[in-house]
Amino acid sequence: MTSIASTSPVERIARVIAAEMLSPNAEGAGDLGRPVSEIVDTIWPRETDRALAILRTLREPTMRMIEAGQAAGDDPARVWSAMVQAAIAEAPALAD
């Protein structure tokens, strides 16, 4: 079964954007004197415009996404997950 999120996609994406900017593991700002999670809790609302821009970009699926969704069956959660996984798989390889 596909996991069902309890928070909105906008909040989750905004939190990831905020964490990426701050987290030493993500090569962000480094030592901030308190846990990154506490700072993210404070600043993620500032990133909602970026999160919405990301979601708006996903309104038009690629053919690979459509094919993955069709192959996933009738469960909307599985269709969504399959389509997002297909989008992730389309990411260009980054040069090392």
Please check the confidence at residue 95 and state whether its pLDDT lies above 60.
Answer: no
Kindly state the tokens that stand for 26: 């993500």
pLDDT tier at 3 (50, 70, 90 boundaries)? confident
For residues 22 and 28, the answer to whether their CB atoms sit within 8 Å is: yes
Please check the confidence at residue 15 and state whether its pLDDT lies above 70.
Answer: yes
For residues 43 and 16, the answer to whether their CB atoms sit within 8 Å is: no
Q: What is the mean pLDDT of the chain?
A: 87
Q: pTM, whole model, 2 decimals?
A: 0.77
- Residue 69 sits at the vertex; the CA angle it makes with 53 and 95, to the nearest 5 degrees, is 60
What pLDDT is attached to residue 35?
82
pLDDT tens-digit profile of 41-52?
999 999 999 999
Please check the confidence at residue 65 and state whether its pLDDT lies above 70.
Answer: yes
- Residue 85 sits at the vertex; the CA angle it makes with 15 and 53, to the nearest 5 degrees, is 45
Integer angstrom CA distances of residue 18 from 32, 57, 90 = 13, 19, 24
Task: Give percent helix, percent strand, percent coil of the chain, each to the nearest 5.
Answer: 65, 0, 35
